Structure 1
Amino acid sequence: MGLRSSDSADGDRNGANRKLVLAALGVVFGDIGTSPLYALRECFNPAHGIAVNEANILGLLSLILWSLVLVISIKYVGIVLRADNRGEGGVLALSTLVSTASTNWKVWAPVSAVGLFGAALFFGDGFVTPAISVLSAMEGLTVATPKLERFVLPGAVLILTSLFLMQRHGTGAMGRLFGPITLIWFLTLAALGASHIAESPNVIFAINPLYAVHFFINNGVMGFVTLSAVFLAVTGGEALYADMGHFGRSPIRKGWFMIVWPALVLNYFGQGALLLSDPTAIKNPFYLLAPSWLLPFLIVLATCATVIASQAVISGVFSITRQALNLGYLPRLRILHSSEEEIGQVYVPSVNWLLFAGTLTLILSFRSSSALAGAYGIAISSTMLIDTILVMMLLRVRMEPHNRKIIALLSLILIAESAFFFSNLLKFAHGGWLPVAVAIGIYILMSTWQEGRRTLAWLIAREQMPVRDFMTMVEKEPPTRVEGTAVYLAAEAGGMPRALLNNLKFNRVLHNRNVLLTFVRPEVPFVQPEERIEVQHHGDGLCRIVARYGFMETPNVVAALRGAEEKGVPYEPDSTVYVVGRENPIFTSGSGMPLWRKRLFALMGRNSQLAAIHFGVPSHRLLEVSSLVKL
């Protein structure tokens, strides 16, 4: 189809076993797997004015079924999963893939901006998904008995507080439980739905897409408005692509077609069958599928499922934060690895507590999953549109056989997703503005940091002395030499770092050996070990080490020096001093970014993690040198 991953990754993933499929169930499908809790109920929200009758029930079920077919089965599972960036997925990985695949430099800037905004939208979703998922599960208490309604809100707050507190311990131990619990959840969905389909088998007629067409004919404008509720059934599709790097394509496809899709369809159709026989069950058709004796178990299971779904989104936000940071879109943040075995499991404390504050504010402000449904959808539908557009661009760049047919198919899906987007846009004034506002704010932060760093790097590079000129100067006026090694962190793999030049200028001293260490970020998730370290010898005790790390990897000074030692650069930790430069910008008006963005850039810089800490520089051998730069 024109979208290929690396052969080695394909070989590993084609041999995926049942354990990997089970693990994928617990992470990849958590979000979409909890949609039956509220999706069909919201389709019949009184605000939409859709009557609970046979024609509308079959029409909505047909819409949900074919939405799952087009958006999830065909687009994400069938096409988008093949657009991986060396095994990694997600909107940032996809945008970098499109940028590097195109030879037209004019493509880079707009694609980068689109990918950046898609990542910002994902942050906005990170606030809403945990809130609506946990609230919808806790609302099952009111089905058991109305007397428990007063415990719904405190219970949701307690569960989410515990979830965010747990993040600092990592998800390794809990992750082993995710897969089996989610499997039980999907089997329960299927069993509950199948039992009611057997009682009202005529619900099977909804497989015919003509019922979806008749739904729009019968309901007109309100049918279009209801599309925003239908869209709730496919939220979580982006997670299939974003989490591909953890499990690979094959386990996700097997999990979807063998377990998830059949279970979802059976449950939605079961809810429809229940409504056909009892229209009053619309108050909560999911929980009313279960007999009263099973309700306590179902509430507990649903709560576990929503916690897992929330965990998947939170982990996704952590992962995309690290990608954005390593691609230069965010300032250095404190990132902790929560697992020694899994490289993808990271914890970002500042982002965790920001998500917690936002999620708690949403729960206390909206107070019910129905009210939150208004804030849910715009960000996700926008991200899905961006994914489709970027994949179509990638197919267009890689004009291989059969790509025209895939582009034509994606064009039809794009029309359907556009309808979802514009329907969700109608909810803008009813809470939909919130994730969009969050996304715009985060986009401003990321684009400001990206532009500020680019400008700062250009200004520094313009003043840098070429290595040849430096060697000539040292040869003409030899400075005093001292024992030991000095390692200078250099942002650019070109001229001499300012910290070294300032040391020479003011102290007239150089170490016997001087190492210029530069971390380079190729736009790939991982770098092969044999490609990581490059050593350049310039003579007279000066060499440059270029260490390459992908956007899913964490650079480390000591590890880079150990790698260079294998290539002939001696490393003596006890006689090595690490010199880190720190540029402090001075604001000037009239050129470059607006003054307010310059001040925002400086504020972000002051609150970023120190370079020495971020790159793992041994603190007891650290020397920091500051300098001023006019910005």
Structure 2
Amino acid sequence: MSSSVTSPSSQTANTAPSLVLGAIGVVFGDIGTSPLYTLRECLKAAGGISQPNVFGIVSLILWSIIVVVTLKYVSFVMRADNDGEGGILALTALASRVAPARLSQVLLTLGVFGAAMFYGDSMITPAISVISAVEGVTLVDPKLTAWIVPISLVILTGLFKLQKRGTGTVGKVFGPVMIVWFITLAALGLLHIVAGPAIIEAVSPLYAVRFVAHAPGTAFVVLGSVFLALTGGEALYADMGHFGKKPIRLAWLLLVLPSLVLNYFGQGALVLARPATVEQPFFESAPGWALVPLVLLATAATIIASQAVISGAFSMTKQAVQLGFLPRIPVVHTSTHEVGQVYVPFINVSLYAAVVFLVVFFKSSDNLAAAYGIAVASTMLLTTLLMYFITHSLWNWKPLATFVVIGPLALVDAVFVSSNVSKVLDGGWFPLLAGGVLFTIMTTWHRGREVVVERMKTDNIPLAGLIKSLCGGSHPPPRVDGTAVFPGGVAGMTPSAFMHNLKHNRVMHGINIFMAGMTDNVPHVHDEQKVTVEDMGYGCYSVTVRNGFMEIPNVPAILLLVAKKIPDWQYEPADTSFFLARDTVLATGESKAMALWREKLFAFLGRNAAQAAEYYSLPANRVVELGGQINL
């Protein structure tokens, strides 16, 4: 990775305003559009409008936002960035690095499960956000109800087509729109707070406590709807790599948080004054003349809301591939300045297909709200548990301090998880099913790779001994001019592509570079630490490459670093051939490490992975692929 590319955490002050603008446009779309449906769903769950219900629910929303988003994510979890990157996989890599070795595999499993659940709920966010805004047209003309689903599908199609332009471009376009959105939220809220100032009393957490104490069963169900106000919290953390923690914190504290609080309180005052507005308290809060402009603005804002989870899913996919939990997937860098800004075509298409299904199947925001929250609530709980290892092992907090912070946060998350369990039969099965499928794929691919590496270490010949016996013997193979590079090998073992080349072509190149890669639990590895070169003699070099989990291996760029460590050799593209093993994995059922169905799944994933030449950025006209077979 070129050293000229910098992470968001290293941006200069001159770029801060643009990063804040981009963060407003991308990061806060999800949580920023929650007022469209949160209070409405909470009041429905509470069973009616009364002052204790409204005050209690508004107080619960306020303090949930303060505790979960402001205190937990913005103030606490974002401190645990992995060299500028966020998200549960980055956190898992960081925790695994500092936790006791015996717990490493457990933490990886927890992190992968959390990532899978994040994917599950990220499918619902675009659907519920856009539908909830488009539903505002029914207040303009009830006859437009039949057009809600078609209009939503057209809007979502346009959004997913826009992704290939990159997060930075999207953020700059969306940022100004979201600033107008948050100002509008604040203005609408203030309008009704001024008309009913008694709602300000709900700032006191006593109202939330009384609401819960008066009817614990009802309150428990209501908490599942209160959670709708928090669903953008995990996406906020996952998108940290795109813009950096400081711009996100500034945007949250100075604009987003005040606007959300004012709007929720304004809606509370409105429904107390006019109970009939409970069906659409957000849109009913606007003056009649402003309804159509508000519907249009809300639609624009909900398009942007979808962006937070889409860009977060892109970042998480890139991490998962490098950490070995997903097969090679083409990843497109959309910025020469921000390493975190990527576009993943396969994930974009997959999310789009899932969102279309949800819109067509559930048809309304009410139905989608019943399915929303269970998966991301689980991810939030796992994030808190992983933070225990960060505070204890990395930050060296005393046990009492760790318990005082982690204990209450884990309790709050556990309450939200349990309150969302009731949604499973009403549609929560979809994100859980999607997350479960992804978890199975990710763990199968990870374990399958381990089995393949173990098999290669058993079946392949140690590289150093083979080179010595081949080249130092009485009948060395003929040598030809040029350089042969063998990427993607296992350290210390002879690549199968090298053996196939000897078998079929019966020659060796003048220079042979055997390249084995490893992924560190850090996002980026500096150039001076990236390669280690061992001279095995006879023009043969063993190269160990260290990549971060946010880096895609670029073999030609790595060879420029290798050239600095091999005397009298320079990388000449026209004089270099790249030999890749195109191994076919066969599921035989003989391995005790994996069940037969998992072996077949692993083989299927391997057949459909992106081509190694594309993944390693190799020039197509200099690549030689040699086939082999690996029996599991």
The alignment's TM-score, normalised by the length of structure 2, stands at 0.95
- Verify: 1:92 aligned to 2:54, yes or no: no
What is the CA–CA distance in structure 2 between the aligned matches of 1:572 and 1:409, rounded to whole Å?
56
Give the 3-state SS of the residue equivalent to 1:494 in structure 2: coil
Counterpart in the other structure of 1:622:
623
Query: 1:350 and 1:601, CA in 2 relative to 1: closer, same or farther beyond 3 A?
Result: same
What is the CA–CA distance in structure 2 between the aligned matches of 1:9 and 1:336, rounded to whole Å?
18
Tell me how far 1:610 sits from its aligned partner.
1.4
Tell me how far 1:15 sits from its aligned partner.
8.2
1:273 alignment partner, one of 262, 269, 273:
269
Amino acid at match of 2:261: V
Query: 1:15 and 1:71, CA in 2 relative to 1: closer, same or farther beyond 3 A?
Result: farther
8 Å contact from structure 1 (residues 142, 149) kept in 2: yes
Amino acid at match of 1:575: D
Amino acid at match of 1:418: A
Counterpart in the other structure of 2:57:
60
Residue range with higher mean Cα deviation, 418-427 or 345-354: 345-354
1:206-217 mapped onto 2 (5 Å cutoff):
206-217=202-213
Counterpart in the other structure of 2:217:
221
8 Å contact from structure 2 (residues 133, 298) kept in 1: yes
1:369-518 mapped onto 2 (5 Å cutoff):
369-398=365-394, 400-401=396-397, 404-474=400-470, 475-476=472-473, 477-518=475-516
Tell me how far 1:12 sits from its aligned partner.
4.9
- Verify: 1:286 aligned to 2:282, yes or no: yes
Tell me how far 1:219 sits from its aligned partner.
2.7
Tell me how far 1:178 sits from its aligned partner.
1.7
Query: 1:399 and 1:83, CA in 2 relative to 1: closer, same or farther beyond 3 A?
Result: closer
8 Å contact from structure 1 (residues 53, 279) kept in 2: no
What is the CA–CA distance in structure 1 between the aligned matches of 2:344 and 2:244, rounded to whole Å?
24
1:290-369 mapped onto 2 (5 Å cutoff):
290-369=286-365
Give the 3-state SS of the residue equivalent to 1:286 in structure 2: helix
8 Å contact from structure 2 (residues 193, 266) kept in 1: yes
Amino acid at match of 1:524: V
Tell me how far 1:376 sits from its aligned partner.
0.3
2:236 alignment partner, one of 237, 240, 243:
240
8 Å contact from structure 2 (residues 485, 515) kept in 1: yes
Residue range with higher mean Cα deviation, 211-220 or 321-330: 211-220
Residue range with higher mean Cα deviation, 138-147 or 493-502: 493-502
Query: 1:406 and 1:178, CA in 2 relative to 1: closer, same or farther beyond 3 A?
Result: farther
What is the CA–CA distance in structure 1 between the aligned matches of 2:165 and 2:265, rounded to whole Å?
40
Counterpart in the other structure of 1:158:
154
8 Å contact from structure 2 (residues 486, 498) kept in 1: yes
Counterpart in the other structure of 2:23:
24
8 Å contact from structure 2 (residues 43, 53) kept in 1: no
What is the CA–CA distance in structure 2 between the aligned matches of 1:67 and 1:457, rounded to whole Å?
46
Query: 1:15 and 1:482, CA in 2 relative to 1: closer, same or farther beyond 3 A?
Result: closer
What is the CA–CA distance in structure 2 between the aligned matches of 1:173 and 1:73, rounded to whole Å?
27
Counterpart in the other structure of 2:593:
592
Residue range with higher mean Cα deviation, 504-513 or 492-501: 504-513
Counterpart in the other structure of 1:564:
562
What is the CA–CA distance in structure 2 between the aligned matches of 1:429 and 1:127, rounded to whole Å?
18
What is the CA–CA distance in structure 1 between the aligned matches of 2:138 and 2:614, rounded to whole Å?
50
What is the CA–CA distance in structure 1 between the aligned matches of 2:395 and 2:347, rounded to whole Å?
40
Tell me how far 1:467 sits from its aligned partner.
3.2
8 Å contact from structure 2 (residues 23, 251) kept in 1: yes
Query: 1:360 and 1:118, CA in 2 relative to 1: closer, same or farther beyond 3 A?
Result: same
8 Å contact from structure 1 (residues 16, 251) kept in 2: no
**CA-to-partner distance for each residue in 1:47-77, whole Å, 9 max, x for gaps?**
x352201110000001001101110111111
- Verify: 1:71 aligned to 2:56, yes or no: no
- Verify: 1:51 aligned to 2:52, yes or no: no
**CA-to-partner distance for each residue in 1:107-157, whole Å, 9 max, x for gaps?**
111100000011101111121000000000101111222122222111101
Amino acid at match of 1:587: A
Query: 1:21 and 1:184, CA in 2 relative to 1: closer, same or farther beyond 3 A?
Result: same
Tell me how far 1:422 sits from its aligned partner.
0.7
Query: 1:49 and 1:81, CA in 2 relative to 1: closer, same or farther beyond 3 A?
Result: closer
**Percent of aligned positions with the same letter in both sequences?**
45
- Verify: 1:149 aligned to 2:145, yes or no: yes
**CA-to-partner distance for each residue in 1:404-423, whole Å, 9 max, x for gaps?**
32531331122122111111
**CA-to-partner distance for each residue in 1:569-598, whole Å, 9 max, x for gaps?**
421222221110122223332422011110
What is the CA–CA distance in structure 2 between the aligned matches of 1:487 and 1:229, rounded to whole Å?
57
The alignment's TM-score, normalised by the length of structure 1, stands at 0.95
What is the CA–CA distance in structure 2 between the aligned matches of 1:577 and 1:481, rounded to whole Å?
14
What is the CA–CA distance in structure 1 between the aligned matches of 2:205 and 2:340, rounded to whole Å?
41
Give the 3-state SS of the residue equivalent to 1:624 in structure 2: strand
Query: 1:629 and 1:495, CA in 2 relative to 1: closer, same or farther beyond 3 A?
Result: same
Tell me how far 1:22 sits from its aligned partner.
2.2
What is the CA–CA distance in structure 2 between the aligned matches of 1:170 and 1:41, rounded to whole Å?
34
Give the 3-state SS of the residue equivalent to 1:431 in structure 2: helix
Give the 3-state SS of the residue equivalent to 1:405 in structure 2: helix
Residue range with higher mean Cα deviation, 24-33 or 565-574: 565-574
Counterpart in the other structure of 1:256:
252
Number of residue-to-residue matches in the alignment: 622
Give the 3-state SS of the residue equivalent to 1:503 in structure 2: helix
What is the CA–CA distance in structure 1 between the aligned matches of 2:329 and 2:15, rounded to whole Å?
35
Counterpart in the other structure of 2:532:
534
8 Å contact from structure 1 (residues 14, 250) kept in 2: no
Tell me how far 1:541 sits from its aligned partner.
0.8
What is the CA–CA distance in structure 2 between the aligned matches of 1:74 and 1:40, rounded to whole Å?
22
2:116 alignment partner, one of 98, 120, 123:
120
What is the CA–CA distance in structure 2 between the aligned matches of 1:303 and 1:202, rounded to whole Å?
31
1:139-218 mapped onto 2 (5 Å cutoff):
139-218=135-214
What is the CA–CA distance in structure 2 between the aligned matches of 1:366 and 1:401, rounded to whole Å?
47
Amino acid at match of 1:448: T
8 Å contact from structure 1 (residues 585, 602) kept in 2: yes
Counterpart in the other structure of 1:105:
101
Give the 3-state SS of the residue equivalent to 2:123 in structure 1: helix
Tell me how far 1:44 sits from its aligned partner.
1.6
Tell me how far 1:183 sits from its aligned partner.
1.1
What is the CA–CA distance in structure 2 between the aligned matches of 1:533 and 1:382, rounded to whole Å?
39
Tell me how far 1:184 sits from its aligned partner.
1.1
Residue range with higher mean Cα deviation, 50-59 or 246-255: 246-255
8 Å contact from structure 1 (residues 13, 250) kept in 2: no
Structure 1: 5+ residue stretches without partners: 1-7
8 Å contact from structure 2 (residues 239, 315) kept in 1: no
Give the 3-state SS of the residue equivalent to 1:44 in structure 2: helix
Query: 1:520 and 1:543, CA in 2 relative to 1: closer, same or farther beyond 3 A?
Result: same
Give the 3-state SS of the residue equivalent to 1:446 in structure 2: helix
- Verify: 1:608 aligned to 2:609, yes or no: yes
Give the 3-state SS of the residue equivalent to 1:546 in structure 2: strand
Counterpart in the other structure of 1:576:
576
Tell me how far 1:601 sits from its aligned partner.
0.6
8 Å contact from structure 1 (residues 323, 552) kept in 2: yes
8 Å contact from structure 2 (residues 23, 171) kept in 1: no
8 Å contact from structure 1 (residues 13, 249) kept in 2: no
2:546 alignment partner, one of 521, 545, 548:
548
